Chain A
Amino acid sequence: MFYIFSIALVICALMVVVSQHPVFSLLFLVASFLSASVLLFLLECEFLALLFIVIYVGAIAVLFLFAIMMLESKLSNLSRNMMKYVPVGFLFGFFLLIPLLSQIWSQYDQNVYSDSFYFNNYQNWYDLIDSTSDIEVYGQVLYSYFVLQFLVAGLILLLVLIGVVHLTNNFNSPQKTEQSIFKQISRDSTFFFKQ
């Protein structure tokens, strides 16, 4: 199960980069997020897995989809540039990957019990009576041990909010951008169905 989804994650992440059409690569991105969240489910971090699905798939991917729909894409230009940069990218990738893999193989042994991992899972009966759920644990750790980091994360969000509001707002131009429904509907639909 773990192997299936981790292989699926790697393939999806590869396809995000490789695929030519931005919508397809976005769909592969969603698929890779889903498989990563399944991996988190298998590690019994239910809250994090649900958070992954809700935030990444639900919010960020949809946001990307809107951005891609809004922007005019220059596909031919993209593919030409890509062929130019692929060999260099592979070169650097291999130089990074080889020492990483050799280190990982030399440092971490195969766990001999990994096949019987789920059979050896024992049930702690006290947990059923007096248990703290994932969210409670996260809350307790976040508000006690990592309170300063939590505050700094809040400050980062505030900063990003201020910056984004400034960079996207246009106070100088008096005319408001209106939604021209006719133009949206009658847009050329070949963008999505081009061969």
Chain B
Amino acid sequence: MINEKKSLGLFSLVSLKFFTVFPEYFISISLIYVLTVVFLITYSVYSLILQKAVSETMVFILIMACYLMVNDDLLALNFLSFNNSIVNDYFAFFTKFVICATASVYFLFIADSLKYQRLTSFEYLLVLLFAVLGLMLLCSSNDLLTAYLAIELSSLAFYILAAFKKTSNYSAEGGIKYFVTGAISSAFFLFGSSFIYGISGTINFTDLGDLFSLAFNKSAVYNSSFDYSFIELGLSLILFSLFIKLALAPFHLWSLDVYEGSPSSSTFFFAVVTKLSIFVLLVRLCYLSFFNLHNCWQFYSLWVGIFSIFVGSFGGLKQRKLKTILAYSSTSHMGYALIAFSTSTFEGVQMLLFYLVIYMISGLCVWSILSFLRLKQTNTEQKYNKELGDLALLKNSNAALVFCLSLAMFSIAGIPPMIGFLAKMGIFLSVVGVSFYFVALISVLFSVVSTFYYIRVIKVLYFENLLVGRLYHPINTKKPAVLSFLIFLLFFLFLYPTTLYLNNYKTILSLL
């Protein structure tokens, strides 16, 4: 089969180059199709609630995209297309697959909870699919302009998702805050890329890599004559804008309000799905283009990483709101990922990828349980955000769910029989491997501190001496099957981590 296709020669290659973004094409065309069809259906009857059907359509679309990627025979691997602005290597392939799979599970989980959150218009799911499209495009972008457009596509969708609930003032506030910080970060991104374009005359990652790897040979001609400080300024501006997007510590203040204010299903998306592709862009930018400027970006990412671990560990201690606790937890997790990123070794990047995949799986578990739980309440008091105290005595009404939640919390905290332990240990090992002993020591200590609030959730779940607790609506059986599969993954990957581990290793080797 493959040989047959290869023998078609140059003509097939020319037409093949448009298939490097085939999953993106598929998603965007199906998105426009769904928009048209649903619009025609709801044209006469607007109040028709199509929520469940549309979200299952989204699951179907994303599973089909996964299927397309798995059955891709990788003929156009390591192939630059669209005027070198799209790269199609194994790294992009793997991360796109992970994003698609996570997003399809996400759509499956939120299908019911949307109705109870009063988010009944079909645009919500369409905007979510736009965001997934932007994230996938970001994974395979190979120049700064395409990356900027992909970031804009996804983050404009995020602003709309945060502000989607028109009746809630908190949601509007969260949307405005997200919009302002996102606009500032985009401005910094463009500012930094204009510096890089001004000094080097190109915005293509591979061209930049070729240009600046000349100086890596330590030949006297290139080293003495060229001053890197201007490029470093542009690079650090871009890094800061991406750090704002990732909600890392000095730039994390928007994330608390946005996570708390926006509807729960949007927060689920922001916390779980969005982080991976920005790290892909960071790896491409720093490891492929500007690797010999590693003094610059290593410094910034190391300190920002340590500071965000610090803030994430100590900030969550006093919180009683569940979403804010998880926002702090996400900040500290991004800090761990960033110190793995800052090691400037390929083991570090491998650990980064491993950690992010594990982060997405355990995040899916925790957030899906939070979206399943639906308080029984009267019509007079409407409460959507859960506090820690609401979870007390849940063990009497739904013991299995409590067990799942506590297992997921153990995994996030990094307690040994779960996969979170291996992910964290891999990061510390990679940091020790480049002999940043002090960084490893400090982050281990902060990790112990942050264990406190994860364990406190479990304490509230199991060991609370209360007689009166909240009641919850029962849960249907379909989605806990997927959830229990994810919980099973948390165990299984601890016993057999080599499958994911070797896959990540292969992915990283494709960067070389």
Contacts and interface: CB of A to CB of B under 8 A. Distances in A.
Interface of A: 99-100, 103-104, 106-107, 145-149, 151-153, 155-156, 158-160, 162-163, 165-167, 170-171
A158 B47 CA distance: 23
A152 B227 contact: no
Interface string B112-126: 000000000101001
B291 interface: no
Contact of A148 (B86, B130, B133): B86
B11 interface: no
A160 B83 contact: no
16 contacts: A99-B233, A100-B233, A103-B233, A145-B83, A146-B85, A148-B21, A155-B153, A156-B149, A158-B32, A159-B156, A159-B157, A160-B156, A163-B156, A163-B160, A166-B123, A171-B47
A145 B164 CA distance: 36
Nearest to B39: A162
> Which label, helix, strand, loop or mixed, suits the secondary structure of the B interface?
helix
Interface residues of B, number: 35
B233 A149 contact: no
Contacts of A166: 121, 123, 160, 164
B227 A106 contact: yes
B130 A152 contact: no
A155 B166 CA distance: 24
A170 B46 CA distance: 11
> Which label, helix, strand, loop or mixed, suits the secondary structure of the A interface?
helix
A184 B216 CA distance: 68
A106 B86 CA distance: 35
A155 B145 contact: no
Given A103-B229, A148-B82, A162 B46 contact: no
Contacts of B32: 158
Nearest to A147: B82
Interface string B138-164: 000000011001101100110110011
Interface of B: 21, 28, 32, 35, 46-47, 82-83, 85-86, 121, 123, 126-127, 130, 133, 137, 145-146, 149-150, 152-153, 156-157, 159-160, 163-164, 166, 199, 227, 229-230, 233
B145 A149 contact: yes
B146 A162 contact: no
Contact of A159 (B121, B146, B153, B227): B153
Contacts of A160: 156
A156 B47 CA distance: 27
Contact of B85 (A107, A148, A156, A165): A148
Given A162-B123, A167-B166, A149 B146 contact: yes
A114 to B, nearest CB: 17
A94 to B, nearest CB: 16
Interface pairs A-B: 10 shortest CB-CB? A163-B160, A145-B83, A166-B123, A148-B82, A152-B149, A159-B130, A107-B230, A103-B230, A156-B153, A162-B123
A89 to B, nearest CB: 13
B85 A149 contact: yes
Contacts of A151: 28
A159 B149 contact: no
Contact of A167 (B35, B47, B160, B230): B160
Nearest to A103: B230
B130 A107 contact: no
Contacts of A106: 227, 229
